Amino acid sequence: MSPKHVVFKKVSRDKSVTVYMAKRDFVDHCDFVDPVDGVIVIDPVQLKGKKVYVMLSCTFRYGRQDMDVMGVAFRRDLFLVTRQVYPELQDKEKLTHTKIQQKLLRKLGNNAFPFFFEFPDNLPCSITLQPGLSDVGKKCAVEFEVKAFCGENQDEKIDKQSSVRLTIRKIQFSPEDSKLLPSAETTFEFLMSEKPLHVKLSLPKETFYHGEPLKANVEITNSSSRNIKDISLSVEQVTHVILYSNDKYVKSVAKEETSDSVPCGTSLKQEYTLHPLLAYNKDRRGLALDGRLKHEDTNLASSSMMVGSSEVSLEVPFRLMHPKPEPAKDSESDDMVFEEFKRAYLKGVVYGDDDESPTDA
């Protein structure tokens, strides 16, 4: 039995425009990003001679939507492109790029029209900063959205009744595991000590998956005249926010404090285990998380760094990511299952009680 395509569908309130998309997660493969493609079905009677446009946007929000200072909203469009879909500026064959578009056009008829966008280089992935317990409203985040609307021209005020907004995500998976074994070492000379202290920190691999315990190997050779005690390790998430203030936030997401000691003239070789999990950090305001999801359904964002603390410390960077899934098998069948494009289908998405998108026009 041939597998069926699951296609998401969303209709404008006045029934003039319906959008069909085969997925809502688009993967950044580093050298290219999955293009955003879909099909729009229009109702010429409801349109009343108006044109139909599709917009792809990436927005950085750094304050609540209702915050406005001297007419300046706390948001910035990182990328915004709008294309006219109807009346079509080229014939459908030239505008059709993917197999799923071809299948949808065959199934949906003459009032169906394709749209296609490519992401520019260097756009961030979907990410949100975890709010505090007392925070309300929409939070600091990078959000992506596809918006279809009709009007006399693309610059006129968008009527919510004749528009469709669809929240999508730009995501990344772990690359092929490299043979690099991250490590760092240092030699520290204490005052009034003739010989130094040598410390080495290493990890068994460069990439760890979300939920996986992190093993860290510590080697200390204490040739100094001082006794070393209370060895501590931590996994720290470093978040750079460069769009409005060039801020850098460093937050510990896992910590191991021990009473292990290395008396003078001795050595220590020990493996420690840390657990960098969101489950242990749910109330930590400002942590970077993947996407805009509920705490229990998401995870810490990538790009973490492990450091030691105290007067002798080392840093070893590593990657924290999701494994790359097996590619889906493409079916030649035209059988399709249509599902309503609601936030409930994007696991754990939280935007509020309304059914509008996270960003306003």
pLDDT digits (tens, 9 = 90+) for 313-354: 678 888 888 888 877 666 566 677 777 776 544 443 433 333
Q: What percentage of the chain carries pLDDT values higher than 90?
A: 27
Q: What is the pLDDT of residue 311?
A: 53
Q: What is the pLDDT of residue 330?
A: 61
Q: What is the pLDDT of residue 19?
A: 93
Residue 312: pLDDT over 70: no
Region 263-283: what's the mean pLDDT? 90
> Residue 360 in contact with residue 183, Cβ under 8 Å?
no
* Residue tagged 């450091």 (tokens): 307
pLDDT higher at 133 or 114: 114
Q: What is the pLDDT of residue 137?
A: 57
pLDDT digits (tens, 9 = 90+) for 41-72: 999 888 888 899 999 999 887 755 545 555 55
pLDDT higher at 29 or 254: 254
Q: Are strands 288-290 and 112-117 parallel, antiparallel or unpaired?
A: unpaired
Distance, in Å, from the CA atom of 20 to the CA atom of 140, rounded to the nearest integer, reads: 29
pLDDT digits (tens, 9 = 90+) for 208-233: 899 899 999 999 999 998 898 888 99
Region 164-168: what's the mean pLDDT? 90
Contacts of 111 (CB under 8 A, 6+ apart): 41, 42, 43, 44
Name the β-bridge partners of 76: 60
Distance, in Å, from the CA atom of 301 to the CA atom of 322, rounded to the nearest integer, reads: 10
Q: What is the pLDDT of residue 123?
A: 86
Question: What average pLDDT does the chain have?
Answer: 80
CB atoms within 10 A of CB 70: 4
Reduced to 3 DSSP states, what percent helix, strand and coil does the chain have, rounded to the nearest 5? 10, 45, 45
Looking at the chain, the number of H-run helices and the number of E-run strands are 3, 25
Residue 172: pLDDT over 60: yes
Contacts of 71 (CB under 8 A, 6+ apart): none
Q: What is the pLDDT of residue 45?
A: 87
Give the pLDDT band of residue 308 (cuts 50, 70, 90).
very low
Q: What is the pLDDT of residue 111?
A: 92
Residue 302: pLDDT over 80: no
Contacts of 304 (CB under 8 A, 6+ apart): 235, 236, 237, 238, 253, 276, 318, 319, 320
pLDDT higher at 32 or 93: 32
Extract long-range pairs of 80-83: CB within 8 Å, 24+ residues apart: 80/55, 80/56, 81/55, 81/56, 81/57, 81/117, 82/53, 82/54, 82/55, 82/154, 83/53, 83/54, 83/55, 83/115, 83/117
> What is the chain's length?
361
Q: Which of 96, 58, 126 is nearest to 346 (CA)?
A: 126
* Pair of tokens at residue 65: 């939507």
Residue 361: pLDDT over 50: no
pTM over 0.75: yes
Region 263-288: what's the mean pLDDT? 88
Distance, in Å, from the CA atom of 245 to the CA atom of 3, rounded to the nearest integer, reads: 49
> Residue 99 in contact with residue 328, Cβ under 8 Å?
no
> Residue 297 in contact with residue 346, Cβ under 8 Å?
no
Residue 183: pLDDT over 80: yes
